[in-house]
A and B are shown apart, each in its own frame.
Chain A
């Protein structure tokens, strides 16, 4: 259990590490070029891992709905945005604001798709996140 908890924390550390490395590459090149390298190097890595472990084409991937195939281009913009932001507003601020956007859009998506969840918890959670964004924003304007 402690091992898995450590692995879950490590996964978060690696998200941040990846964004910082990409951000450093974008400082020398451009945000979009950094996103390109992130994807092609990641493609090589996943290909090698899939060849080692096997099972890449297991299941019925062709039965997936058409929109499930659109994650790649969305990810290109996402990685480019992170690479552009991190040298400008810092790693912590970038991470927190992306988390804020992810959480609030997740609530909107859950409501649209009719996913179960406490409306009170959703309201409190969204309110706290919006308050946190307001505090961060007002802090920057004063300095």
Chain B
């Protein structure tokens, strides 16, 4: 990608932080559904209602396509990776790892692979090298998260 390195603005922070809040709601909703129905059902229903909701938003807003050419076919497969995640998480949740261990290791995998992808510019996304301050912020956020996961009752 030859695009100039875009700078981070406060609204990027707000959007990401808010998305984290949505994730908490999503886990509460889908997790409650899984208490009453099967794990498959708790993943199948949000995918179904989400597909309908996204289609309605697309028809209503009609967002412009950023590029006239079709993207490669593999870019449409993000949902498969998400589907496998649900199965892996439900497989490990009931082992000795428990929910807290599953979440903590998942966070580690997520952050390490994200760093690797940034450094290499994987999947046609802009390449970027993390600075020393980025690593400091990463360490603070991860240690804070681990304290919450293991001692804060937040799982």
Q: Answer whether A and B are interacting partners.
A: yes
Report A's interface with B, CB cutoff 8 A.
1, 4-5, 7-47, 49-50, 53, 55-65, 67-82, 84-107, 109-110, 115-118, 121-122, 124-129, 131-133, 135-140, 143
Minimum distance in angstroms from B59 CB to a CB of chain A: 10
Is there contact, CB below 8 Å, between B151 and A65? no
Nearest neighbor of A43 in chain B, beta-carbon distance = B47
Residues in chain B near residue A55, CB distance under 8 A:
38, 40
Number of A-B contacts (CB under 8 A): 455
- Give chain B's interface secondary structure class: helix
Produce 1/0 per residue, B111-155, CB < 8 A to A: 111110110001111101011011011111111110111011110
Do the beta carbons of B16 and A85 come within 8 Å of each other? yes
- A18 vs B46: C-alpha distance when bound (angstroms): 17
Contact call B107/A12, Cβ cutoff below 8 A: yes
What is the interface of chain A mostly: helix, strand, loop, or mixed? Answer: helix
Q: Can you list 28 pairs linking A and B with CB atoms under 8 Å apart? A: A4-B97, A21-B78, A38-B82, A40-B54, A43-B79, A58-B41, A60-B37, A64-B36, A65-B32, A69-B33, A71-B26, A71-B49, A73-B53, A79-B50, A97-B13, A97-B17, A99-B110, A100-B20, A103-B20, A105-B25, A116-B153, A117-B151, A117-B152, A121-B151, A129-B144, A133-B17, A135-B136, A135-B140
